[in-house]
Amino acid sequence: MCSTLTVCRSSLRVDYERIKAAGPDRAAAEWLLRCGAKVRFQGFDRWHLDYNALPTGSLGRYKIQAIDATESCIMYKGFDYLDGLKHLEEVKFNKCIYIEDACLERLTSIENLQESLYMMEVVSCGNVTDKGIIALHKLRKLEYLFLSDLPGIKDRQTTVDRLQTALPHLEIQLDLD
């Protein structure tokens, strides 16, 4: 959870030099952890949530496989950190007050993620509407989507139908009532 407004404000600026120097996965992990999210690296079962305990090693050794942004303060501007991720398979946006349609549209515009992301949860994100959920159709490998407590979803059936038409292999679990 975002403990201070200062931490959240510092997350508004993307440090492109840091991305070049540390690599996209390390820089993204640093940003996510500063914002209160957790990451899991490829080949590991353990979630990392302490910025100061991130693993060290050669550049590019640790690849982000999953992000759990539950109650974090990640927001649109920081999504530039996700551009270089090539191994991200799972994302959970649970109780993320800054996640909105533009965030989901930005996420789905990242070509690497269109080919790698297969599981996603969007729960209790009050600024997400049908428009943001429909944008997920660009995630060609998406196999599982869980949607819950999204008051911005007004036309549930049309939204689900559009996703199912675009992604016939997608399993959608809903708890929107």
Measured distance CA(140)–CA(170) in Å, rounded: 9
pLDDT at 57: 78
Query: Thinking of the domain 4-175, which architecture would CATH place it in?
Result: Alpha-Beta Horseshoe (3.80)
Spatial contact of 32 and 72, defined as CB atoms under 8 Å apart: yes
Whole-number pLDDT of residue 12: 63
pLDDT, averaged in runs of 10, over the chain (177 residues):
46 85 95 97 94 84 96 95 97 97 97 97 97 97 97 95 96 88
The whole-number pLDDT of residue 176 equals 78
Rounded to two decimals, the pTM is: 0.92
